[in-house]
Amino acid sequence: MSASPADLVRRFHHAVGLDARTTPTEVPAPLAAQRGRLLAEEAAEVAEVSVTGPLDKLAHELADVVYVAYGTALVHGIDLDAVIAEIHRSNMTKLGPDGRIRRRADGKILKGDHYEAPDVAAVLRRQGWVPGGE
Ligand SMILES: [Mg+2]
């Protein structure tokens, strides 16, 4: 894929006249709620086919979730790629200095002594977000 999901979704929003903001912004509640419902619908569709498949349907619904999530970020003016990079940075701190991770008995990866929580607010502030502002 030559264009990133963010680029593709931005093209779609511009083409069909959906909201697309460039600065993190609190949007009107009805719009925010609509975006939340859209994402919940797509997540539910993933849940429906997660076990039963078929695999092409699962792939389709996973892509729908990502597409709608990027669209929702765009509606709110969030550069989601930068947020994902911050989540990734944090997740990688779950590795110890020896490159190992600790797991609970059920397989869940535990946060070690070197874990750093993601600072999403800082990422949004770098994008121009003013908490509580318009
Ligand atoms: Mg779907």
- 132 has a pLDDT exceeding 90: no
The average confidence (pLDDT) of the chain is: 94
Mind listing the pLDDT tens digit for each residue in 40-91? 999 999 999 999 999 999 999 999 999 999 999 999 999 999 999 999 999 9
**Among 23, 32, 28, CA closest to 130:** 23
User: Angle formed by the axes of helices 55-75 and 29-49, to 10°?
Assistant: 170
What's the 45 CA to ligand 1 centre distance in angstroms? 6
> Hey, where are the domains in the chain?
1-78, 79-128
Which is the CATH superfamily of the domain at 1-78? Answer: putative ntp pyrophosphohydrolase like domain (1.10.3420.10)
User: Distance, CA 38 to ligand 1 centroid (Å)?
Assistant: 9
pTM to 2 decimal places: 0.90
Show Cβ contacts of residue 18 under 8 Å, excluding neighbours closer than 6 positions: 12, 71, 75
Q: Is the peptide bond before 54 cis (omega within 30 degrees of 0)?
A: yes
What's the rounded mean pLDDT across residues 3-17? 96
Distance 24 CA to ligand 1 centre (A): 26
Separation of 94 CA from ligand 1 center, angstroms? 32
- The reported pLDDT for the residue numbered 109 is 86
Counting every residue written for the chain, the total comes to 134
For residue 40, the CA-to-ligand 1 centroid distance in Å is 10
82 neighbors 124 (Cβ within 8 angstroms) = no
Q: Ligand 1 centre and the CA of 16: distance in Å?
A: 18
